[in-house]
Structure 1
Amino acid sequence: MPPSTEMRYFLKHDLLEKVSMSQDTLTHPRFHRMPFTLNRGNIAMTLLLLAVVLVLGSCRTREIVEEAYEPSASHEEYRRSLMAMELDDTALGRAWLSQADAALEAPHTISIPFQEIAHFEPSRPEAVGFRFEALRGQRIEILLEIEDGEQGKMFADVFRAEEGGANALPQVASYSDELNRLEFEPRRDSEYILRLQPELLRGGRYSVRIQSVPVMSFPVQDHGIRHIWSFFGDSRGGGTRVHEGVDVFAPRGTPVLSSVYGTVRNVGTRDLGGLVVSITDEERGLVLYYAHLEEQLTQRGARVAPGDIIGTVGNTGNAITTPPHLHFGIYEPGWRAIDPWNFLYEFDTEPPAIAGATNKIGGAARVAVEGVSLMKTTPEAQAFSLSYDTPVVILGASAASYRVVLQDGRTGYIPVGVLEATDEPVRIAQAFNAEP
């Protein structure tokens, strides 16, 4: 029977501790002391342990994705079905396939939170890509609402942005039609691309919203990020060490809470931390460390959920001369401390209000001001000026901009106040418009 998630974590953790030790006896300052001396007699064992660690580590994905949002092959299957019917030999089919690749190769770079209301024209094969940064400790939530249009599937998939072209990008997660959303959590800071594309000859109006939320709940009851007064990396011990966590100041006796679903790993006393509790977060392979407690209100092996009380705020250990506070730390295997800030910080989830007239989306317009810039949307793209009376089609609206396409197929963002509607149709280049 394969080892459980928790067993794999502890095995990997213990191996990493041994491998990371050198001829000098190394100990972790808070948890335990376990000397290990490297000599000829155990070099082979050390190399074996390292190999096992690498194998275990390779099994971990770069993202945490719930089953409902696991990568779907539906877009690739649809692509193959078009080719099987030889539709890739038609203008419509070629345009659909080209748009799918272009959305990944030249996505629009955005900042989250982000919201756009847009329109896919059924007669014109289209796809759009949005590139954004996701931080470790934050869960990405993508909400997609199909407001109206031709019936058909909307493909919505997230890829990790890496070198190698559209076909080499790792697919991370896919939209759940049942839940009307897509979620994933990066294990480290990375950039991602969301691609949206309807089936051929399908489309309509839709809205997309991308936001991030912390993956851990705050560890002190009725307190928040503003109560953190001492930060990760601050100097300690006269410069001999650094602060491996954050300090949350609160009145003595304030309940201390579990921030995750997990198992209580240790309830004990330490020289520096005083009364401590540590919790294993099996899903992320992390250990959460709570120190300077006044009381410990849990026991080793207990299963806990976010919000469960595990102790109270105090100033035990080396905090005896400071006001009561909780020291909260997060450790990776090998007792490598990581900054808890992004795991707790609630970034703004409300995107800027859309200033443009959404009833203009999908319609033709002309530039009403000379020298307006089509705003740069990719790191490689260069902004360029548009002449007065330049025709465009409005594809979407977000914040104070319209996303537009020019007659030559180039796309970008333009301020909402520089366009005027026109009744004259705008013909888009063959590379974008699949009309024969």
Structure 2
Amino acid sequence: MADSAAPNPPLTQARSLRPVAFGADPAGERLARIRRSPHFADGVFQNPDNPEGPRARPSGSRLDFAKRYFQKEARRRRRPAGPIPLHPTTAEDLARPPADGLRLTWMGHSSVLAEIDGRRVLFDPVWGRRCSPFSFAGPKRLHDVPLPLTSLGTVDVVVISHDHYDHLDLPTIRALASTDTVFAVPLGVGAHLERWGVPSDRLHELDWWESTRVGDLRLTATPARHFCGRGLRNQQHTLWASWVAESPSGHRVFHSGDTGYFPGFRDIGAEHGPFDATMIQIGAYSEYWPDIHMTPAEGVRAHLDLQGGNPHGVMLPIHWATFTLAPHPWDEPGEGTLAACAEAGARAALPLPGEPFEPTAEEVPSAPWWRTVARVRASTPGPAAEARTAAPADAPGAAAAHRAEPSGKAAESPG
């Protein structure tokens, strides 16, 4: 006869001991749905057009990478010489509706507030000081958050591209979970959010090419080439995605999440484009992981693919100038985007963090603001001066850096 006071099964014990920032593994019907996905095979999610498997392997040795990454001059160039300027946007500015119904505000890295015909979509919100499971180590912000979350006003839906720390931030999600917003996430990511307090009835969990509606706004999860993982083990049981948001009036925007370049951008554009604006990852690239992050030139190529080969709409470069996640100089993605857009005849918006702009307007922010920063020397310590170089948060093999107990401390905005 079983003892009624017997301890919990090992699986339950392990789950209770797992650091909360690691999230949770999919189980039950969620795991069954994952296993039914046409993109899940051999026990893992598979990348599109990638015969080598679900996770791109780094080219070159770890020793070669370490020598380059920690070289003194290279480290210096990965941080701005002075404070990164922020646009002085206020809650009142965001309360005024955009003239044409569409407005984007880049909040740094991949975080973008998209206002689309009366609906507010917040992509990949990260308001924490570090993209890390703990507060004392890991990549630290190069600039403050432009606005506190409470100044954004009502957010109708939070859209998450994948579960890496620089895109899915525990304190930010917990703050948003206390509001009435709903969450649209790739398949499997909902397990993390439920553990952090998001009710299941506020989750829209999608496979690639599946759509959901938030009011009259249609959201579609579309393919990307990347990988996933937050804890000690990366089981590839959570999907990664890019996203399309479309309104009944015809406004369309695309958010790339993290991805390597792949021919599928043309398919996304053919199905959902052309777009008024594309938000394209152009930072944290390296020859050591060429298949999971795009260079600026590849990002512009993806933008054109999404537009049917034509220089339609505006490209907003994202995933740069906020966290140091790769060996390249901090401002190189901006320069590379300018050059690639000029060569291709594409139109880029280059706002300061926190600067709203309307993609359909005659003029969009286009000044290379980072050049002024690069010429200035910081006179007082701040986020730029304090930022420590750390191993890339989502580079292959970086999960080993996330093995300490995370802090539960929330930081709505640093500093």
Q: Which range, TM-score by smaller chain?
A: under 0.3
Which structure has greater helix proportion? 2
Structure with the greater alpha carbon radius of gyration:
1
Structure 1 length-normalised TM: 0.21
Structure 2 length-normalised TM: 0.21
Which structure has greater strand proportion? 1
